[in-house]
Amino acid sequence: MSPSELSRMFEDALASTDAWNAVRAADPTLSRRYALSADEWEIVRNNPTPDVLAPLGVPPLLAMWGSFICNPDFERAMSAREYFAATNGEH
């Protein structure tokens, strides 16, 4: 696994609309550009949530954003504020 490459991919997606769209569309060139393993690429393609990305070594904040980028259902389900309130036990 290469958590630094996953993190770099999510950082790039946060910095560039084109990169965001490529990650969202699961552009197959990303697996080579970021040297992702087959397992990592499968995770990216299958709508990961933070609880899937964080154990791979992706920092928690990037795991949350990575989930928003890769997983439209996760993005529609809650805002970043709602996510942090839920993970911190706030109501």
**Tens-place pLDDT, residues 18-77:** 999 999 999 999 989 999 999 999 999 999 999 999 999 999 889 999 999 998 888 787
Q: What pLDDT shows up at residue 26?
A: 94
- Residue at 69: amino acid letter: I
Q: Is the pLDDT of residue 89 over 70?
A: no
The per-residue pLDDT for 90 is 55
Cα separations (Å) of 6 from 2, 36, 72? 7, 7, 18
Residue 15 sits in which domain range?
3-87
84 falls in which pLDDT band (50, 70, 90)? low
Query: Does position 11 have pLDDT exceeding 60, yes or no?
Result: yes
Q: Are 6 and 34 in contact (CB under 8 A)?
A: yes
Count structural domains, the chain: 1
Is 0.85 surpassed by the pTM of this model?
no
CA distance 20 to 89: 29
